[in-house]
Structure 1
């Protein structure tokens, strides 16, 4: 058995050769390719049809299927795409065929068995006659990357895989792979297919740990199979792209870039190199222009023919030298960009320069956008993120307005989904939604900004592949289901387990109404409805047990990389599920008046919650230093915490003095001098829900405060402030601060101080009459960390846990 097959094929056989060249996949990062052979979905499907993804623009039925036979002659021209030929040959051999490659000039005398004509009309002179045999027009009038696939009987089986160009030829082979589905019988269909978007792919443009070299190689294989054609290299924390952009690559870094370019080309993916010089560039400087093109030239020598200048997230004030030469930021930037386009890109006959401007969101016109767009070289491609940095929807109206505002015919989307660098504790495994089906009429395409976890991003990238190829027929749910099955593999139990896991990561916080763990939520709601009637609902227990088992049940999934990427979240989910199972036992005991058993079960909860709160996700910040165990994985979109909160209230009503009950502060209102990040409002610190939090949008300054005001003065004996993402791991919090109480808001008494841990808990020997409590900053946070506070409570009784 081929080492890439084990009951279901994970990779094309061609990877055996590429592995020897250093272009294959490591055993730990295997990616499944779309060839399951599932029944087709959609209008007009019938048993026996194969799914082709992305959905072709035209797929017609023919009279009968064609059996390839065991002997196949692949007829090519001297310039037919070598990668397509290699993939086709190894696909056929993996399916049991004996394959001979025959040059077009020799086809009449040496071709035998099934004849497959491969190539484009420009490189294979046998195609016109072969197209007549199979009865379809050629690919000349299709868009770039388009292809024709058809078969017929004429003294044996005849198959045509005709691309508009080399990439189209390669894509025809990828479609054949799906249609054959591991066999040698071609279904009774013919395909005439072309993409509706020119640019389809990903931009590695996030902050945080850059993808590993191996994961990028694996992504290129995935892109080729899914007909994604673009990868933009610009990880924010590659120091040689941003803070040290003038320095050239050397040693292993340069060798790996060379291998990446070779691998991208092998899968017909355009490797675009994006430099980010905007933090310290002088736009009018000859020296900085030379530094730019010198850096580009180093990459061009490796085979890169597509370049990009990223001007996002940089200062908007011009330096002294630029201010003396230019009247605006846009004028300075366009001077620089146009010079790169004309003096370097055009001089070397490269693909047009690409850029993202400093003002990259919002469709309404502005002075910056007008000057940037009207002055830019007309061939420069401009990226835009939608109405916001994160855009829950992108409408046709919005795009039309943006095209007019930027005055460009080459606008395309930098889509900040499913990127998680702003919420590194989260995974976003929900479908790609909210992109209008008509955007191809106005845009060049999309590049998705994926997550820090490369393999966990594959679900959404498969969605982008389906959407960008054929937006009018894109079905978000259908595409998502197919992607999940592809990564899981063919085993039904693994597919079901992966759905249990992905359910815990469905909330996208930038879209109002985005569901929170919908299946888990439904089971929780069903449980509470039954509990209120004095009954138990076993569905929740079954789901929790399945979550506990995910670490083992997902281990054999097809994409080992996905499993490894998400393992911290899988393990944390198991801890949360164990906590809820213990609470379930507690609640049943309360129903049955077994109070001692209820208290015993409650005592087990804390250890599981503490384990779920351990930092197990690595991170990397602006210093470029990789560190293990920095981030607490967030699982369940708050549903676990919500269940715990209500269950504790059930226990509190029956056993108000139980030592397992969490601390609860008096009702109050909260204010802060800190700026707020997005909708993480300070009111969340007094809502009694540890699943919600306040999050600042900057690091604290000395004398910044977070304050709680009660409804009146109370004899306060205890205060508890729970910061960062969990009680067990330090993170975004007030690292240097003092806890103060006041009766009038004017005179303050210090009662405690932070110690670097995420929980500040104070029990007073004598009560302090107070209406106000505040945490006041006394020193800077390390590394400019922001502040998260989940709860800030003042109580008349000392906390028990």
Structure 2
């Protein structure tokens, strides 16, 4: 949905740590995390993403042996078993022998996944089992030559396997030592994921598949398919898909199921639907049936970005009248028919989702009142917060939305979407959402950027918040996401952090380039010019480092004009610093030379463009208000 083009630039100020870009501390630059129950986590668990609800470190450890015995319960999730096996081999195990029942063998690591063996081993290792956990919760223990993990359900087991994959090291041979730990974990809100709902250049099929893999790693469990380039979702909503397009959607559905992600198909009939038409209801349910046949089990009917003051057929005006209440009544009737004639008649279907035409505020209106009163109680209503892009959100607002719409609320959060300001990348963390919001919601879905790989930095922080809002720290989560995307390489992480810092600002992160700004402020207050030059040098080198070393090669391709602009602005800023030094030292000749050269550098920095879906060339911005201001002030002698 970022439906309305607004230049949102308001929000809460963020208190930011002052950290020199040239010398980050630790793998993530963050202080050690604490478990939700107060237990201090050691580095092995401090960077788990999302942060578990409870982590206890043990003083012992285990060793990854050459042969590992894997004991699985009779109905253990196949995807979880595959992930455990893959993670053990990546940690140095040469053989993973699977069995249904075995006693621990001396000198051999034994791993229990679900079943009675896992339950007994969890107890023996001082861990609580899965009793009392909500859906998708899990328990995991690593200690004394054994690993045990169990889920409340199949998805919980899969998430336990994901956590284990983060705890195990990467080694090419046996012998790795793994610190002991006990984890008990569950999500803060039932639905957590991504809605591909932006305007502009659509994601490729390969990018969508990759996003499903990324979602699984971060314990996100929903992907809403709503791309604007799919005419069969809107303009041709009544028509069946051609076989090749349906086959691609099926591939997405199959990948999602294999990753424990729920694929949601969002059909938007509002541009032409006649609410009172039995034929249109039949067309809608028939379309859903074709998607059901390829495995879709979750459906949505977005009714946003349409007019409810103008009907698509005369019969609707005759039946419902006019005004907001009439529109709410008509929409409720359509949705109820779909809910009763399709969802209710298909065992295994998830609750129907809908997007109201008024999706973005907390004002009581006749439309909302009609929808609340007449829409079936089990339908999920999507809402963006107070504003199309909500700068902040509180638990009270989430509760008020629940009461106003009279239905469970699925948050459609318009971050890090950039379709309304495609000149910029949104690489800051998820911010401005208070603790307690997820508990008042049916779930959180984030609307990403046009650039799928670049979106991962922000989406990882969304996943952290949605899973465990009480332990969430935006800057710590951002640091961990940077480390992950950098593949654990310190130089790449420094480069990505520098680049993300000058692409940080948004409606929910109003301060641009917080770390670079801090370095400039130190210099203005009498700091060493060499220290600032080192920061700018790192920024100048960052684009090249990312192009050469970033594991996700698509990131560099998507961010190409912003990478070029970053390097150019860093070159101009370094010359601006030299100009300031020359002015202060009275070196007039050097100052004249630099003042003559810098305008050309600025022109070059402003020359890079993003070409949108329609071929429009849009000049990109990086570090705006920071880099350009520093350079302009230097040239002006301020």
TM bucket, shorter chain: 0.7 to 0.9
Structure-2 residue corresponding to 1:139: 130
CA positional deviation for 1:100: 4.5
Q: Which string of whole-angstrom CA distances, capped at 9 and with x for unpartnered residues, describes residues 639-672 of structure 1?
A: 2332343344339xxxxxxxxxxxxxxxxxxxxx
Aligned match of 1:522: 518
TM-align CA RMSD: 2.8
Are the equivalent residues in 1 in contact too, given 2:68–2:93 (CA < 8 A)? yes
Pair 1:384-2:383 in alignment: yes
Pick from 589, 607, 626 the counterpart of residue 614 of structure 1. Answer: 607
Structure 2 equivalent of residue 685 of structure 1 = none
Matching residue of 1:314: 306
Aligned length: 596
Aligned to 1:179: 167
Question: Could you report, residue by residue, the CA deviation over 1:598-637 in whole angstroms, capped at 9, with x for unpaired residues?
Answer: 444333334333333335323125xxxxx4x722111112
- 2:637 maps to 1:637: no
What is the match of residue 369 of structure 1? 368
Go from structure 1 to structure 2 and tell me whether the alpha carbon gap of 1:381 and 1:647 turns closer, same or farther (over 3 Å shift): same
From the CA coordinates, give the structure whose radius of gyration is larger: 1
- For residues 13-69 of structure 1, what are the alpha-carbon distances to aligned partners after superposition, in whole Å with 9 as ceiling and x for unaligned? xxxxxxxxxxxxxxxxxxxxxx99999523543656433222222223446223343
Of 264, 269, 272, 2:264 maps to 272
What's the CA shift string for 1:113-147, capped at 9, x where partnerless? 4332213xxxx354444444444443142111111
Match in the other structure for 2:45: 50
Q: Is the 8 A contact 2:457 2:482 kept in 1?
A: yes
Distance in 1, matches of 2:516 and 2:178, equals 42
Which residue is 1:575 aligned to?
568
SS at match of 2:381: strand
- 1:457 match: 455
Superposition deviation, residue 565 in structure 1: 2.2
- Asked if residue 235 in structure 1 is aligned to residue 227 in structure 2, the reply is yes
Deviation at 1:230, TM superposition (A): 1.0
Displacement after TM superposition at 1:108 (Å):
6.7
Deviation of 1:521 (Å): 2.6
Aligned to 2:320: 326
> The residue matched to 2:263 in structure 1 has which SS?
strand
1:187 match: secondary structure: strand
Q: Any stretches of 5+ residues in structure 1 without a counterpart?
A: 1-34, 622-626, 652-801
Report the Cα distance in structure 1 between the residues aligned to 2:95 and 2:268, rounded to whole angstroms. 48
* 1:218-617 pair list within 5 angstroms: 218-317=210-309, 318-319=311-312, 320-327=314-321, 328-349=326-347, 350-408=349-407, 410-508=408-506, 510-511=507-508, 514-528=510-524, 537-555=529-547, 556-591=549-584, 597-617=590-610
Instruction: Give the Å deviation of 1:372.
Output: 0.7
Show CA shifts across 1:707-745 (max 9, x none): xxxxxxxxxxxxxxxxxxxxxxxxxxxxxxxxxxxxxxx
Aligned partner of residue 393 in structure 2, secondary structure:
coil
Q: 3-state DSSP class of the match of 2:334?
A: helix
- Aligned twin of 1:114: 109
- Higher relative contact order by CA 8 Å / sep ≥ 6: 1 or 2? 2
Tell me the alpha carbon deviations over residues 174-226 of structure 1, each in whole angstroms, 9 at most, x when there is no partner: 11111222265442222121112101111111111111222222211111111
Deviations 1:568-611 (CA, angstroms, capped at 9, x unpaired):
10101112222333444445555555556544433333433333
1:100–1:518 distance in 2 versus 1, CA, 3 Å: closer
Q: Which one is further off, 429-438 or 199-208?
A: 429-438
Q: Specify whether residues 112 and 310 from structure 1 end up closer, same or farther in structure 2 by C-alpha distance, changes over 3 A only.
A: farther
Give the Cα separation in 1 of the matches to 2:425 and 2:151: 38
Q: Is the 8 A contact 1:504 1:520 kept in 2?
A: yes
1:659-695 deviation digits (Å, cap 9, x = unpaired): xxxxxxxxxxxxxxxxxxxxxxxxxxxxxxxxxxxxx
Aligned equivalent of 1:649: 636
- Give the CA deviation at 1:446: 0.7
Change in 2 beyond 3 A, CA 1:566/1:602: same
Quick check: 1:365–1:406 contact (8 Å CA) kept in 2?
no
- Aligned residue for 2:300, secondary structure, equals strand
User: Cα gap change, 1:321/1:131 in structure 2, threshold over 3 Å: closer, same or farther?
Assistant: same
Taking structure 1 as reference, are residues 606 and 367 closer, same or farther at Cα in structure 2, changes over 3 Å only? same
Which structure is higher in strand share?
1
Aligned pair in 2 of structure 1 residues 162, 112: CA closer, same or farther (>3 Å)?
farther
SS at match of 1:161: strand
Query: Partners of 1:323 and 1:132 in 2: how far apart?
Result: 65
**Structure 2, unpaired ranges of 5+:** 1-26
Query: With structure 1 as the length reference, what TM-score do the two structures score?
Result: 0.70
SS of residue in 2 equivalent to 1:637 = coil
Identify if the C-alpha distance between structure 1 residues 547 and 65 changes in structure 2 by more than 3 Å, giving closer, same or farther.
Answer: closer
1:76 lines up with 2:72 in the alignment: yes
Written as runs of structure 1 = structure 2, the 5 A alignment for 1:125-204 is 125-151=116-142, 153=144, 157-182=145-170, 184-204=176-196
- Hey, what's the Cα distance between the residues in 2 that align with 1:485 and 1:372? 45
Q: Deviations over 1:466-485 (max 9, x none)?
A: 11111111111111111111
Cα distance change of structure 1 residues 348 and 597 upon mapping to structure 2, 3 Å threshold = same
Provide the C-alpha distance between the structure 2 equivalents of 1:611 and 1:109, rounded to a whole number of angstroms.
66
Name which of structure 1's ranges 187-196 and 381-390 shifts more when overlaid on structure 2: 187-196
Q: C-alpha deviations, 1:84-122, integer Å up to 9, x for none?
A: 111111221222224455453x54799994332213xxx
Aligned to 2:15: none
Judged with a 3 Å threshold, the aligned counterparts in structure 2 of structure 1 residues 584 and 62 are, in CA distance, closer, same or farther, namely closer
Please identify runs of 4+ aligned residues in structure 1 that moved more than 6 A: 35-39, 108-112
CA–CA separation in structure 1 for the residues paired with 2:606 and 2:245: 36
Report how far residue 326 of structure 1 moved.
1.6
Please give the alpha-carbon distance, in whole angstroms, between the structure 2 residues aligned to 1:76 and 1:112.
Answer: 20
- After superposition, the C-alpha distances for 1:424-480 in whole angstroms (9 at most, x for unaligned) are 001111221221111233211211111111111112211111111111111111111
Aligned partners of 2:88 and 2:168 also within 8 Å: no
Of 184-193 and 340-349, more deviation after overlay is shown by: 184-193
Instruction: Report the CA distance shift for 1:77/1:519 in structure 2 as closer, same or farther (over 3 A).
Output: closer
Structure 2 Cα separation of the partners of residues 523 and 107 of structure 1: 59
Tell me the secondary structure at the aligned position of residue 481 of structure 2.
helix
Residues 135 and 542 of structure 1, relative CA distance in 2, 3 Å threshold: closer
Deviation at 1:162, TM superposition (A): 0.8
How far the C-alpha of 1:281 sits from its partner, in A, is 1.6
Q: Secondary structure at the match of 1:412?
A: strand
* 1-structure distance, mates of 2:107, 2:573: 66
* Equivalent residue, structure 2, for 1:778: none
Structure 2 CA distance for partners of 1:542 and 1:132, relative to 1, 3 Å: closer
Relative distance call for 1:507 and 1:102 in structure 2 (3 A) is: closer
1:523 CA drift (Å): 3.7
Query: Which has the larger displacement, 269-278 or 249-258?
Result: 249-258
Distance 2:117 2:535 in 1: 58
C-alpha distance in structure 2 between counterparts of 1:597 and 1:103, whole Å:
76
1:273 CA displacement? 1.0
Q: 1:151 deviation in Å?
A: 4.5
- Residues in 2 aligned to 1:336 and 1:99: alpha-carbon distance in whole angstroms: 56
What is the rounded CA distance, in whole Å, between the counterparts of 2:212 and 2:342 in structure 1? 27
